[in-house]
Amino acid sequence: MKRQRVLVVLVALGLLAGACGRSSNDKANEQPTGGGTTATTSAANAKCQGVQLEATDTGVTADTITVQVMADTGSPLAPGLFQGNVDALKGFEKYINDHGGIGCRKLKVETWDSKLTPDESKNGQLNACSTSLALVGGNSLFNPDVSTMETCPDAKGQPTGIADVSALANDVNEQCSLHAFIIQGTAEPCSPEGKPITGSRELTAFVGNIDYYKTIEPNLVGLFMVPGDLPTTVQSATYQISAQQKAGVEWIGAVKVSGRDEQSAFTPKVQQARSGNATYVYNGSNDVAMINMRREAATQGLDSVKVWACSLACYTDKFKAASGDVQNTYVWMQFIPFEEKGSNAELDNYLSSVATPDSFGAQAWMAAVLFQEAVDKIVESDGPNAITRAKLLEALNGINSFDANGWMGAKDPKGGFSDCMVVLKVGANGFERQTPSEKGTLDCNPSYITKVTLDPAAEAQKIQ
């Protein structure tokens, strides 16, 4: 079956993060306070009684299950970029061990700094293959060679490979791998063999946010701020531009920006918005780019824009701290926000276990919950001595809809988007829910997903 992956890129210099997130009157995502995997976990734990535990595969001893979180944290280009992923997995380790462990064993989390380089990403795969049951919660932007991950030997010497249960995969080779199970929305099409497809192709995009913006300003005349630091990030914007146009946006232009740009670099962008009578500006880059664009727009007195909008990339403490400059900027995302602690058990688990929550860390925690769900299924079905890499891959492939116990919009971890969202707006006190109105819910609708056909590489060449 063809697997869909989306080129949703978060570059080292802090660029874009796509997002996805049932209608406001749909309660499918509401969860009991105990969380959604309680029944499965209880059934799995019952299988532990009276069993003599054994070492069953690499990363699985009689006492522990070891996983590795690999993330870009130590590059001088962006120190601490995805430290949130590491913090989330270490918090998950303590949380799980304090609540009975996993697979009748203690969880052990090892870390690997991929340092924004393909060499260290490959080395991280090699290390995981020698020590761990799975890669979990990772975010390594430059990970083009996944051959080790797909073929490394298990404890019996079979080329089983290792599951990659990631928060986000940037490189299309990782996105398309049949060993990858990804929390972040994906829409890039892949071959049945798990390889990228080039040239003109059908890509998936999320446009539910556009439906909401049109309730604020029916005539969306827009300027798209394209993350311009790398060719891949420019390409990632092309299908979003096309999808938003299909959803009703009239574009006056698409302009490249950098996460490193000073405010002065946004002067011509503001001038273009003014000359085109823009009513809508969408930021595909990072939080700093939107802060600088809003500040420059204020300096020049641009007042035609009714909808300033950003992806999950702006759901940051830095953006909230700049609320005086970015008032009324809309941010759309795929999970219940941190501000709604108490509305979802899994959200609460994360917030109580991690000192500094962030969106990358949230998705890493969700990946860890997905891993836990797969292990629980193995134990419940076949017992705790059946946990192997091959069984884990089989269990993960059997999970076709995952919502982290109602914290995120349900999606297939093997690809595609959730059809859910929540839209926030920056107010005087930070991020404020706009739609759906009810705390702890998500707005989901199949119509929020669309398809566009294009060649991202060719379209990227047209953006200056």
Q: The domain containing residue 118 runs over which residues?
A: 38-199+339-397
Q: What is the pLDDT of residue 248?
A: 97
The model's pLDDT over 35-94, given as tens digits with 9 standing for 90+, comes to 334 456 767 778 899 999 999 999 999 999 999 999 999 998 889 999 999 999 999 999
Same domain, 393 and 426: no
Which CATH number is 384's domain given? 3.40.50.2300
Same domain, 320 and 361: no
Over the chain, what is the mean pLDDT? 90
Residue 161 token pair = 């490979």
Q: How far apart are CA 367 and CA 372, in angstroms?
A: 9
Greater pLDDT, 10 or 333:
333
Report whether pLDDT(187) > 80.
no
Q: What is the pLDDT of residue 43?
A: 73
Q: How far apart are CA 200 and CA 195, in angstroms?
A: 15
Share of the chain above pLDDT 70, in %: 91
Same domain, 374 and 343: yes
The model's pLDDT over 98-142, given as tens digits with 9 standing for 90+, comes to 999 999 999 999 999 999 999 999 999 999 999 999 999 999 989
Residue 2 lies in a domain: no
Q: What pairs with residue 111 in β-bridges?
A: 69
Which pTM was predicted? 0.90
Same domain, 140 and 81: yes
392: part of which helix (H) or strand (E)? helix 389-397
Same domain, 163 and 217: no
| Contact between residue 318 and residue 325 where contact means Cβ atoms under 8 Å apart | no
Region 257-263 average pLDDT: 90
Residue 22 lies in a domain: no
Residue 30 lies in a domain: no
Same domain, 265 and 312: yes
Q: What pairs with residue 138 in β-bridges?
A: none
Residue 19 lies in a domain: no
Residue 60 token pair = 């699985």
